[in-house]
């Protein structure tokens, strides 16, 4: 039986999402890649193997996911890791040396901040945090030997954007690698490589797997030497993804385009409805007419994404009352799932920032992050509105 081939880059995204893993099981013809739950692999002789030797180095199920992700990104096969933070750690340890500097966006996931400030500084790595939406400030930060420019766009949790084409050009001029964490939009709604990224990073835990069922990360590049280095470091650290998580993520990829379109459509509808509510001070969402970077959003994104950031007028007390009054929305630290999730960044995902930093970066005590799920948007809005009424009632009573 002839194996199925990985579809060419000219195939539509939805086609590549379903068939991008290529060969599944030529022995049986199974359409779904099998879960190869084996630690080790019998070798034909010394120096003669069938492509895999030990699952800390590679695994057939993980390799299928890596081919699929590479097909979606138009890059070399991905390197999949045990979590998004494992991907970031693998990247930094593969590319940084003592005395080198990372220029990082000032608004990024709190775990990235923790890693840079509380772990890598002990190894002599300098981290500089800068507003990457400010071109001149970014240019100044890159001067003097920056090794990596690390970006999130949209940024977690305020959804502030960076002009990725301009930022990647600035990084290239400074001799730095431009790394884009594209977790929020995925290749379905933002082509980071086309915008100049050298490395694209994902927490596959989120939209790529899409079902609140796994932890995982992925690193992608078009540079064969860099990929070889990343592979060596992943094998040395033991940060490879497990086969069952890889299999679940492969399954999630098949519906990625459909899911993300629904997430984004519902998010836009909710953002518009919340923007006029008296208990809401501000709504951050890239597709709103009021969003200060709307033109940039429409230039480099295919949608506003599935995340809405809402700042409540009543601050921390209002946020606490709001999240506790919700019924359909779960208070949790994830996003990109079928279930709608609400997160309080100041006390949860972004607690690694000081209170002064959060205030400066608009990660206020009244800010809540909404990961809009796949439920009926009318039901989601009704739940948000009843929770906002509870906030208003509590404020009147006080």
CATH code of the domain in which 47 resides: 3.40.640.10
Residue 174 and residue 81 share a domain? yes
Query: Residues 347-368, buried b or exposed e (16+ Cβ, 10 A)?
Result: eebbebbeeeebeebebbbbbb
pLDDT-derived band of residue 24, with 50, 70 and 90 as boundaries? low
Instruction: Examine the residue annotation and report whether 383 is marked as an active-site residue of this protein.
Output: no
Residue 24 and residue 95 share a domain? yes
Residue 9 confidence (pLDDT) above 80: no
Report the percent of the chain where pLDDT is more than 90: 91
Residue 146 confidence (pLDDT) above 80: yes
Please tell me the predicted confidence (pLDDT) of residue 150. Answer: 98
How far is the C-alpha of 283 from the C-alpha of 67, rounded, in Å?
Answer: 38
Please tell me the predicted confidence (pLDDT) of residue 144. Answer: 85
Residue 336 and residue 358 share a domain? yes
Catalytic residue, chosen from 101, 160, 206, 259, is: 206
Residue 360 and residue 225 share a domain? no
Domain boundary among 196, 218, 253: 253
Residue 391 confidence (pLDDT) above 90: yes
How does strand 367-371 pair with strand 341-343?
A: antiparallel
Residue 53 and residue 152 share a domain? yes
Residue 277 and residue 248 share a domain? no
CA 388 to chain centre: 29
The string of pLDDT tens digits covering residues 161-210 is: 999 999 999 999 999 999 999 999 999 999 999 999 999 999 999 999 99
Instruction: Examine the residue annotation and report whether 181 is marked as an active-site residue of this protein.
Output: yes
Residue 382 and residue 243 share a domain? no
Q: How many structural domains is the chain composed of?
A: 2
At residue 257, φ and ψ (nearest 5 deg) are -60, -45
The string of pLDDT tens digits covering residues 96-128 is: 999 999 999 999 999 999 999 999 999 999 999
Domain boundary among 253, 276, 307: 253
Residue 324 and residue 240 share a domain? no
Instruction: Examine the residue annotation and report whether 285 is marked as an active-site residue of this protein.
Output: no
Tell me, yes or no, whether 8 lies in a domain: no
How does strand 217-221 pair with strand 79-81?
A: antiparallel
Residues 290-296: contacts with CB under 8 Å, at least 24 apart = 291/159, 293/133, 293/160, 293/161, 296/161, 296/163
The string of pLDDT tens digits covering residues 203-253 is: 999 999 999 999 999 999 999 999 999 999 999 999 999 999 999 999 999
Residue-number span of the structural domain to which 312 is assigned: 257-397
Q: Where are the alpha helices (DSSP H) in the chain?
A: 13-19, 60-73, 84-95, 110-114, 135-142, 164-174, 186-189, 224-237, 243-253, 256-275, 294-300, 315-325, 355-360, 377-397
Query: Residues 16-43, buried b or exposed e (16+ Cβ, 10 A)?
Result: bbbbbbbebbeeeeeeebebbeeeebee
How far is the C-alpha of 135 from the C-alpha of 267, rounded, in Å?
Answer: 29
Catalytic residue, chosen from 106, 181, 191, 383, is: 181
Tell me, yes or no, whether 7 lies in a domain: no
Catalytic residue, chosen from 56, 117, 172, 222, is: 56
Catalytic residue, chosen from 67, 101, 106, 109, is: 109
Residue 46 and residue 180 share a domain? yes
CATH code of the domain in which 312 resides: 3.90.1150.10
Tell me, yes or no, whether 49 lies in a domain: yes
Residues 6+ apart with CB under 8 A from 227: 76, 77, 79, 221
Instruction: Examine the residue annotation and report whether 109 is marked as an active-site residue of this protein.
Output: yes
At residue 94, φ and ψ (nearest 5 deg) are -80, -25
Domain boundary among 208, 230, 253: 253
Question: 81 has which bridge partners?
Answer: 217, 240
Residue 307 and residue 337 share a domain? yes
Token pair for 257: 């385009």
DSSP sequence for 207-242? TTT-SS----EEEEES-HHHHHHHHHHHHHHT-BPP
Tell me, yes or no, whether 68 lies in a domain: yes
Tell me, yes or no, whether 232 lies in a domain: yes
């Amino acid at each position: 039986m002839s194996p199925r081939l990985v579809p060419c880059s000219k195939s539509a995204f939805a086609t590549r999402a379903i068939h991008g893993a290529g060969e599944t099981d030529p022995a049986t013809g199974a359409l779904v890649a099998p879960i190869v739950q084996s630690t080790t692999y019998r070798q034909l002789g010394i120096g003669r193997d069938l492509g895999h030797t030990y699952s800390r180095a590679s695994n057939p199920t993980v390799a299928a996911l890596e081919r699929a992700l590479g097909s979606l990104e138009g890059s070399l096969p991905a390197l999949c890791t045990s979590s998004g933070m494992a991907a970031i750690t693998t990247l930094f340890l593969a590319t940084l040396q003592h005395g080198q500097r990372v220029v990082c966006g000032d608004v990024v996931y709190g775990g990235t901040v923790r890693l840079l400030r509380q772990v890598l500084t002990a190894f002599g790595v300098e981290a500089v945090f800068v507003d990457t939406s400010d071109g001149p400030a970014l240019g100044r930060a890159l001067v003097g030997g920056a090794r990596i420019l690390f970006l999130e766009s949209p940024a977690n949790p305020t959804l502030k954007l960076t002009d990725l084409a301009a930022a990647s050009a600035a990084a290239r001029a400074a001799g730095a690698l431009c790394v884009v964490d594209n977790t929020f939009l995925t290749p379905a709604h933002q082509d980071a490589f086309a915008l100049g990224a050298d490395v694209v990073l994902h927490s596959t835990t989120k939209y790529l797997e899409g079902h609140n069922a796994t932890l995982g990360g992925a690193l992608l590049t078009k540079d064969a030497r860099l990929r070889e280095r990343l592979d060596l470091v992943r094998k040395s650290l033991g940060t490879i993804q497990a086969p069952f998580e890889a299999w679940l993520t492969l399954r999630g990829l098949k519906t990625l385009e459909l899911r993300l379109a629904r997430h984004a459509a519902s998010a836009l509808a909710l953002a518009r409805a919340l923007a006029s509510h008296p208990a809401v001070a501000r709504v951050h969402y890239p597709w709103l007419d009021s969003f200060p970077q709307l033109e940039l959003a429409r230039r480099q994104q295919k949608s506003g994404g599935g995340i809405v950031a809402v700042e409540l007028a009543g601050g921390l007390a209002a946020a606490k009352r709001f999240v506790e009054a919700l019924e359909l929305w779960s208070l949790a630290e994830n996003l990109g799932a079928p279930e709608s999730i609400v997160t309080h960044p100041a006390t949860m995902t972004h607690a690694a920032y000081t209170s002064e930093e959060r205030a400066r970066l608009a990660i206020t005590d009244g800010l809540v992050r909404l990961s809009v799920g796949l439920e009926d948007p009318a039901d989601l809005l009704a739940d948000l509105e009843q929770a906002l009424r509870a906030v208003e009632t509590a404020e009147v009573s006080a």
